[in-house]
A and B are shown apart, each in its own frame.
Chain A
């Protein structure tokens, strides 16, 4: 599991209850509707923390590892025995195969009939809900955890381990469960969800506008289709469960623009957050570091989903999900490709990069990836990228060597006056703005790209919906990777939040993201498999499940934070038509 700062949440009356009152429009004494579990004796913060360690980390108050017994004789212990593995950090449970791991946060364990404690338990294919049960008591909870007998008296699935917890340990665990996911996370109200998108400094006004226009339009469209509890909007395209439960909300987008040096971003983000504590960050844009945003999200426990950034931090955090490792992935793919060339394996790779955060990061990633392969790497780091420095840096190379140019579009154009060397020349597909980048013709002929996107044929299919969407709204394709990423991010968020129903907890958003993405991907691969079986008629089937991204596969799993895991090597060619030089390489 990913590093997650410890947390202690206070118990207080949940917004959910207030909103139910609002929904009723009746004046009923609040205390009547408050479920019993909220009234329980207030546990101490220490006790909740002891429970947290058992639940999330598998550590007993004594410091000894938690022990569980499964299926009769299989023992699990420590982090592997932690409840969060199966019931997930939010306590909202999970589904794997035919097995439903039920939600066990206080709201669900102690739910009275009428509390509407509902969670979708199978977001793919067959729709299911969690099973309602009589409210647990301290005794029945102990029986479930110690003996595997639930409060309807049924012996539970042997997947659920038995734990020999003593009374104080049980109390601490119960105290923790009572307050776990007991209130909507900040940024969620009865009828609004607040999101922000972060834009780093140094972005051209055109790129910034491209992203903000896309996101604004998509939010507007989402809201036009939304019926909130307080009414308004038109009902359209909501899931059956949402419709039944009325859990839809209006979305509000905040644009947070950072300024100045990265060292100052943390303070700016905290200020923005103070002003508007958003539920999550969605999309976002940087052409340099993203580390301060990543750190902020980890500290403030705010999900940060699918920003368009060239090099995410290498240390994964629970709260940040990325399309890929960016140029670090490309470096790994190039290293794997070159070292797998047998007799043609180059002896030397020369890499040219601008002496800035991004350039150094890419170069270091390639150096690491190549280490041990018998290929030497020579760095040519340019404090200034201009025709002279580029000429110097691309000199003295033989045909058997490899030149990797970590250049961005503006820098590509500077190659115009230079003759390409006889070495094999590679560029980064992500940094150059893929095949649409301003490659000088002479270079195009020789250039190969590390290409993290789907190949043209398949990609045209995948992007059909997206392009039609742009056309209908009078938007041009100006930066397809960026626009397509933003399009995916908001659409995916719409589906994910819909699946969460009224359980608007940030940890649950991440868990739902993990499982929804692999499910969507699974459906897509099934679809493709069917397509292949009908060879010759690949387009005769409905394609609504096809990916809307420029990536061939996106997938996550518990704890996974990078959705696309490979790239192709492609030849650019004079006519700009890509030819694959390799299969999909996963380093």
Chain B
């Protein structure tokens, strides 16, 4: 339902007059909203060229992004920030579940979560966040300078100007040199596992 401004049974006649003016003005001003988004997700594949940058891991170590990603094995990447209330907890819960499910089958896990609010997300805050989502040894969290974070987001075509405007995105790649699988939207952990298995050809 569109946001129709007032109407119908308002007992105050002059308000009705106002109402008509409001509706026109509101529409003209582009104030009225599009419909809410539903569930579901889209899957695309893309080749991204990643910048040579240094990030800081939750244990405080300065590390190279490419080396952290390229351990020769499949990797899964998300962008998060620790004070985020709506999208990130959901993504991180998903990652946590995928981690558990892979662990059950004894499969290797390699997950990377990069902060898009790096000045707030100090290594200490990331560590706390990692605990909250029961991240094991195969799941690392990264911060860095504001510019580095933006550069990395841009490389993944995930930069939306400010952190509140970020999209629910998870990336995975079978091995260095292979394309990235980009999952946008609201997948379940089974969806993610399915995509993961499909990617590594199992």
Binding site for B on A (CB under 8 A): 20-21, 23-26, 28, 32-33, 70-74, 76, 80, 85-86, 94-101, 112-116, 118, 121, 124-133, 152, 155-159, 240-241, 243-245, 515, 518-519, 521-523, 525-526, 529, 553, 555, 557-560, 565-566, 583-584, 586-587
CB-contact partner of A112 in B9, B36, B94, B163, under 8 A: B9
Beta-carbon contacts under 8 Å, B1-58 to A: 1-15, 18-19, 21-22, 25-26, 29-34, 36-39
Q: A26-B12, A98-B37, A113-B8 are in contact. Are A244 and B26 (CB under 8 A)?
A: yes
Given pairs A74-B189, A125-B161, A519-B165, 9 additional interface contacts (CB within 8 A): A28-B11, A73-B188, A129-B26, A155-B39, A240-B30, A243-B25, A244-B21, A515-B164, A555-B163
**B66: CB under 8 A from chain A?**
no
Q: A28-B11, A74-B97, A557-B120 are in contact. Are A158 and B31 (CB under 8 A)?
A: no
Q: Contacts of B134 on A, CB cut-off 8 Å?
A: none
Distance A159 CA – B91 CA, assembled complex (angstroms):
10
Q: Are B189 and A73 in contact (CB under 8 A)?
A: yes
Distance A171 CA – B159 CA, assembled complex (angstroms):
42
Q: Are A98 and B167 in contact (CB under 8 A)?
A: yes
B82, closest chain A residue (CB) = A557
Least Cβ–Cβ distance between A474 and chain B, in angstroms: 36
Q: Contacts of B199 on A, CB cut-off 8 Å?
A: none
Distance A121 CA – B161 CA, assembled complex (angstroms):
17
Least Cβ–Cβ distance between A176 and chain B, in angstroms: 19
Distance A86 CA – B85 CA, assembled complex (angstroms):
6
Distance A32 CA – B26 CA, assembled complex (angstroms):
27
Q: How many A-B residue pairs have CB under 8 A?
A: 200
Q: Are A555 and B119 in contact (CB under 8 A)?
A: yes
Distance A555 CA – B116 CA, assembled complex (angstroms):
12
**B160: CB under 8 A from chain A?**
yes
Q: A74-B94, A586-B122 are in contact. Are A131 and B9 (CB under 8 A)?
A: no
Q: Are B162 and A523 in contact (CB under 8 A)?
A: yes
A134, closest chain B residue (CB) = B1
Write out, one digit per residue, whether chain B residues 87-128 have a CB within 8 A of any chain A CB (1) or not (0).
101100110010000000000000000000111101000000
Distance A128 CA – B32 CA, assembled complex (angstroms):
5
CB-contact partner of B90 in A70, A155, A523, A566, under 8 A: A70
Q: Are B5 and A118 in contact (CB under 8 A)?
A: yes
Distance A194 CA – B171 CA, assembled complex (angstroms):
49
CB-contact partner of A99 in B26, B37, B117, B160, under 8 A: B37
Q: A20-B15, A525-B146 are in contact. Are A96 and B39 (CB under 8 A)?
A: no
Distance A80 CA – B83 CA, assembled complex (angstroms):
12
Q: Contacts of B166 on A, CB cut-off 8 Å?
A: 96-97
Q: Contacts of A94 on B, CB cut-off 8 Å?
A: 85-86
Write out, one digit per residue, whether chain B residues 143-182 have a CB within 8 A of any chain A CB (1) or not (0).
0011000100000000011111111100000000000000
**B142: CB under 8 A from chain A?**
no
Distance A114 CA – B38 CA, assembled complex (angstroms):
28
Q: Are B12 and A28 in contact (CB under 8 A)?
A: yes
Q: Contacts of B196 on A, CB cut-off 8 Å?
A: none
**B84: CB under 8 A from chain A?**
yes
Least Cβ–Cβ distance between A141 and chain B, in angstroms: 17
Q: Contacts of A74 on B, CB cut-off 8 Å?
A: 90, 93-94, 97, 188-189
Q: Are A521 and B162 in contact (CB under 8 A)?
A: yes
Least Cβ–Cβ distance between B55 and chain A, in angstroms: 13
Q: Contacts of A566 on B, CB cut-off 8 Å?
A: 119
Least Cβ–Cβ distance between B133 and chain A, in angstroms: 10
Distance A72 CA – B166 CA, assembled complex (angstroms):
23
Q: Are B188 and A97 in contact (CB under 8 A)?
A: no
Q: Closest 10 interchain pairs by CB?
A: A522-B162, A114-B10, A240-B29, A557-B83, A128-B33, A96-B86, A113-B8, A565-B119, A114-B6, A522-B161
Least Cβ–Cβ distance between A269 and chain B, in angstroms: 29
Least Cβ–Cβ distance between B2 and chain A, in angstroms: 7
Which of A70, A515, A523 has the most chain B CB atoms closer than 10 A to its own CB?
A70
Q: Contacts of B29 on A, CB cut-off 8 Å?
A: 127, 240-241, 244
Least Cβ–Cβ distance between B168 and chain A, in angstroms: 7
